[in-house]
Amino acid sequence: MSETDLEELPLVEHLRELRKRLVYSVIGVVVSAIVAWNFKEELFNIIRKPIEPFLSTPEQGLVYTGLMENFIAYVKISLMGGFIISCPFWLYHLWRFLAPALYKEEKKYGLAFIFVGSLLFISGVSFVYFVVYPLAFNFLLSFGQGQDQALISVKEYLSFFLSTTFLFGLAFEIPLILTILGLLGVVSADFLASNRRYAFLILSFVSALMTPPDPTSMLFMAGPLFFLYEISIWSIRILVRDEKK
């Protein structure tokens, strides 16, 4: 084996490990989605609930204009449900992929990584569902009331709901991501603290992109992200200090 092959072997092994973990994670999501399919009607009712009070005909719900639209909607709902249900499973495989880069003492945080990661993801999903959506729909659908009727299609609503819910769930993983980077030595608590103003600027921009176009939703998104960023700084300080001890 040549010297070049020896240098490329670790990268090849990492790519193989990444592929394996991705395959396992996808299988977990698909199996969970099959389970969620059996509750597709109940899940769709939950998804419709935030917008129902703002529809002109809430008893009729959303509208669809294509033969396959409702079927595709149920598939998307089941996949999203499967992704949420299998959250601890794909976080476990993410940890298994990252663990070789950590020291032996740091690998003991595996269970905490899975638990905290699942909690943060569910918190993000719950926050956008119970807080952001009612405010956003109240703002967006308040224009033209009394003259125009809101006939929102299943396809349009699901596209907005699923993408926004997914992004909020991932955004709430900021403390977990930054803490792992801190343990890996990529960033430090002092670096994050000294660049706080730039981080807040970036998070504000991200909040504006992720939320509906109204200032209230943006503020309700930016506030938790600022708080989670500060939590990340303290988390890195505590864990790195314990490792040094």
CA distances from 93 to 40, 49, 101, 113 (A): 27, 33, 14, 11
Q: Give me 69's structure tokens.
A: 């639209």
Cross-strand pairs, 63: 153
CB 58 within 8 A of CB 140: no
Per-residue pLDDT tens, the chain, 245 aa: give them. 444 443 444 777 878 888 999 999 999 999 999 999 999 999 999 999 998 887 766 556 788 887 888 899 999 999 999 999 999 999 999 998 888 777 777 677 888 899 999 999 999 999 999 988 888 888 877 765 556 666 788 888 999 899 889 989 998 999 998 988 888 888 889 999 999 999 999 988 888 887 766 677 778 788 889 999 999 999 888 887 655 55
Residue pair 168/129 in contact by the 8 Å Cβ criterion: no
**Are 160 and 211 within 8 A, CB to CB?**
no
**pTM attached to this predicted model:** 0.84
Q: CB of 88 within 8 A of CB of 118?
A: yes
Burial of 215 (0-12, 13-18, 19+ CB in 10 A): exposed
